[in-house]
Structure 1
Amino acid sequence: MAPTTGLRPRDPSRTAKPSLYTPLSRDILALGLMRRRHAYYWTRFAALLGAFAGVIAAVVWLGDTWWQLVPAAVLALVSAQFGFLGHDLAHRQVFASASWNVWSARVVSGLFTGLSYSWWMGKHSKHHNAPNQEGKDPDIGSGVLAFTPDAAAGRTGFAAWFTRRQGWAFFPLLTLEGLSLHVASVQTLWGDRSRTHRFLELAFIAVRLGGWLALLAVLVSPGIAVAAVGMQLALLGLLLGGSFAPNHKGMPLVPATVKVDFLRRQVLMSRNIRGGPMTDFMMGGLNYQIEHHLFPSMPRPNLRHAQSYVRAHCREHGVAYTETGIWQSYGIVVRYLNAVGLTERDPFRCPVVQRYHS
């Protein structure tokens, strides 16, 4: 049985070997791990609304002081948590109604994080369909950083010099990720007239970003305002980027022509992050990346319960299940990016690739 999700990953029944994915899916369903967790999500939403209101109240109460950097940092944390909630809604983990999930994701993403739901959904669904597959996964597309040897090999001059050292620039660049996400959202909505509700999403983003800027402009001096905005954007980038990058970067890349069955495609290209409740909170449940990719519509709090069953199933069928600590994962990412920058042709050998090459 294929996972049900609003992001429509490719139907595993077309490519999967039922002996691998189907028994696991049946066990997960029988355990009730796909059931909605309404109390969990309503509690989280209420807590985040209260925290958001508290940040606004603190900004007004503090006035023109450098202490404004404190609520700015808290706003980054709250915005990131709203982003994770929007991610869960987009995957239809929260409500039984598809429209409730979609509209809630649109409101939460735009009004509280300042991101476009439709832009993110289109990008993220492609990632779920083909994680780490060249030419198909937009998360490894060429940009400031080169994520594949082919992308690195074509660079010359300063770009080539930078790419050879790009791993060391990874964390500094993450501080710009928040701004990059806002810009990409607005650019996509403004330029793509085919997107439905694009003006509504633009209005949500304008209220979120413009309201924050206007509040600071009225209450504090320009220097403090700039510092507060910089603090919020930099920390938001670190929180979101630091949660996304460890999950796939440095895992095997799949050439565009390779076909891999559903379970192996999702497990072998993903990495889990060990940790406790704090790791779950700070990474929005994305530390259970393997379980999330296998069951995208599974409610976030159920992922940790599914982990032992997924790990045992992978062990039984000889499928490598990767899990590391958070700092170890960052080290892997930095070394991987530097290896790619040095145009090593195969810095992430995957024994499955040749086996499944078509």
Structure 2
Amino acid sequence: MIRLVVFDIDGVITDGTVIVDMNGTEQKKINLKDIDAIFELHREQFKLAAITGENTEIVHYFEKRFPWDYFYCGAKKKTEILREIEQKEQLKPEEICYIGDGKYDVEPLEYAGLGICPADAIDRAKQASNMILQKEGGQGCLWELVQILKDYNSQELPVNYFYQRLEEHENIFKKMASDRKVTDTVMAVAEDICEMFERNGQLFLCGNGGSAADAQHIATEFVSRFYKERPAMNAEALTVNTSTLTAIGNDYSYERVFARQLEAKAKNGDMLIAISTSGTSKNVLEALRYARKQGIRTVMLMGDHEVPELQEICDHVVKVPSKITPRIQEAHIFIGHTIAEYVEHKLFGEKL
């Protein structure tokens, strides 16, 4: 639940423009809707703070104009101030909403439990934010903020559940983006696939349950197209249809379903991407073992679990930093899309 709302001023409460008359006097614009929104948040019992890097007469006007609980001007180290307020109010970071638009707002946007920016914020601020408002700064965007905070704090509304799941999703993707090992491994897989296709190899994918659908989805991106009109790339998701499962399961074991298909289709120099949220699917592990013995390059997409054997049977292991199955699967589709788009661009971007 959000208890404290912290504002940058320029580009948030104002539209970021400065009007200077012939005497050098500066003027700034503020939207009446934004004025009303700040007072509405005060009426809703939110604690209010403003932190701005400027220290001018206009800034002091804003200090007197609104019912702030805390007001800081001439401040560049905004996250340190957030921590000070946090201690005084005995809050946790997840109880703070910060709204800003510029380079000095990036760190506090990442620190606060809910980071929000106007539609015209700089790219770095957008990347650091949990939500991007539809309106620009100083153009009534704070009325959007009022409704968002009411919904965010309401445990009874279904939209609150949506915000919680979205926050889980965003946190995982931000962790992936900041983990160089993950990003480098994903792109190393993409490079290996390019080389494999150039040698006329075939890409196989496999997974059980929801991961079977992910394998089919990603394989289709290669066979169909991502963006470009180009030849189909030789990719296939190993089947999990009932006939194959029961036939191989009855004749051998269900652990052999994928390995048996690889035995029939794959050759040295091909590549297998196995998908398992836990990394412990017996069917998937058996496929990786078989592929490794046959000189087929192997990749595992999985969640944040420890499976020591994978270091012996996989050329690449991509771990999504989560143990929540639906969030892991969402990340797997993103990784698959990223790889497919990169391969298409590298192999056909300049040729078509």
TM-score normalised to structure 2 length = 0.26
Larger radius of gyration: 2
Which one has a larger percent helix, Structure 1 or Structure 2? 1
Higher-strand-fraction structure: 2
Q: Which fold has the larger relative contact order, with Cα–Cα distance below 8 Å and residues 6 or more apart in sequence? A: 1
